[in-house]
Amino acid sequence: MEKTTKRVFIPGCSLSSYNPELVGKTIEYLKNKLPGTGAILKCCGKPTKALGQYDEFKDRYASLQKDIDALGAEEIIVACQSCFLTMSAYSKEQKVRSLWSLMPEIGMPEATVGKAKESDITFGIHDSCSTRDRNDIHEGIRWIIDQLGYDLEEPPHSKGDTRCCGFGGMVVPANPDLAQEIMDRRTAEFETDYLVTYCAACRASMYKGGKKAVHILDLIFGDVWTSESDFPDLEGAFDSWANRYKTKKKIEEVLS
């Protein structure tokens, strides 16, 4: 059985806590385009590293690496930029790929190209600061939005020069007031009220900064978004863990 698992998709904590359906649809898409794709739901341990708990981080990451090795995957596909950096640095035996630079190579999911041509809203792109030097990811995201047919707004700080959403470095629990100021400053850069991110934590920050915000997977797999749509709120702690549990179940269902 292991031999058939060539690669593994790791959605990451924040996306799993945000929306189990999107994780499920992503795995179905990958299954279809890239047969031999498994999945792991587990934290990479980055939060401990961000706090400076390096010893604990090593233990945590080893636990994840054990799972990857158990599946025999040669390639890791991630949807989280923080995972991308952490795994690129610590899973030396595996090739780490971002879903966002992979999509232009393997093509959009069925029936998504051009679906949003009639949408009446413009999405501002908020780039993740952790992968500010990954041009392939920036271009992949723009390619995806263009394929879908949405109009785009680039803020003054974007791509390599993007600004942090306010969530980075575990500042939200440490210094919530400052984090809020950073979120407000970031959202103030956009003219449009609608933002798209490719990190669920960034999405939450943009929401807290007063914008209507979605994850790019919402655009790909969700209905066409218009000014009439109901935009997602902030999920509370209980909902987050409930979603995480649902994601686990979803993964097991899709890959059963």
Which chain residues interact with other proteins by CB under 8 A?
Answer: 1-2, 4-6, 13, 31-32, 35-43, 45, 47-48, 50-56, 60, 63, 67, 70-71, 129-130, 132, 160-161, 163-164, 166-171, 173-176, 178, 181-182, 185, 241, 244-245, 248, 251-252, 254-256
Provide the minimum distance between the beta carbon of 135 and other proteins in the complex, in angstroms, as a whole number: 15
Nearer to other proteins, 114 or 160 (CB): 160
- CB of 163 vs other proteins, minimal distance in Å: 6
CA dihedral for 129, 88, 57, 235, sign (positive or negative): positive
d(C-alpha 157, C-alpha 245), whole Å:
36
- Of the two residues 114 and 176, which places its CB atom closer to other proteins in the complex? 176
Q: How far apart are CA 209 and CA 68, in angstroms?
A: 36
* Torsion 203-247-23-45 (CA) sign: positive
Comparing CB distances to other proteins, the nearer of 31 and 115 is 31
Q: Which of 253, 255, 179, 232 is nearest to 17 (CA)?
A: 232
CB of 256 to other proteins, least distance (A): 6
Residues sharing a CB contact under 8 Å with residue 37, sequence separation 6 or more, in sequence order: 5, 6, 7, 8, 9, 27, 30, 31, 77
Report, in Å, the least distance between residue 154 CB and other proteins.
17
Nearer to other proteins among residue 125 and residue 144 (C-beta):
125
Distant-in-sequence, close-in-space partners of 220: CB < 8 Å, separation ≥ 6 = 108, 109, 112, 144, 148
**Which is closer to other proteins, CB of 165 or CB of 219?**
165
Q: How far is the CB of 45 from other proteins (least distance, A)?
A: 7
CB 36 within 8 A of CB 233: no
The tokens for 208 are: 């807290």
**Two tokens at 22?**
């999107």
90 vs 225, beta carbon nearer other proteins: 90
Min dist. Cβ of residue 62 to other proteins (A): 11
Nearer to other proteins (CB atom), residue 164 or residue 200: 164
Residue 89 Cβ vs other proteins, minimum distance, rounded to whole Å = 14
Q: Count the Cβ atoms, other than its own, within 10 Å of residue 1.
A: 7
Residue 52 CA to chain centroid, in angstroms?
24
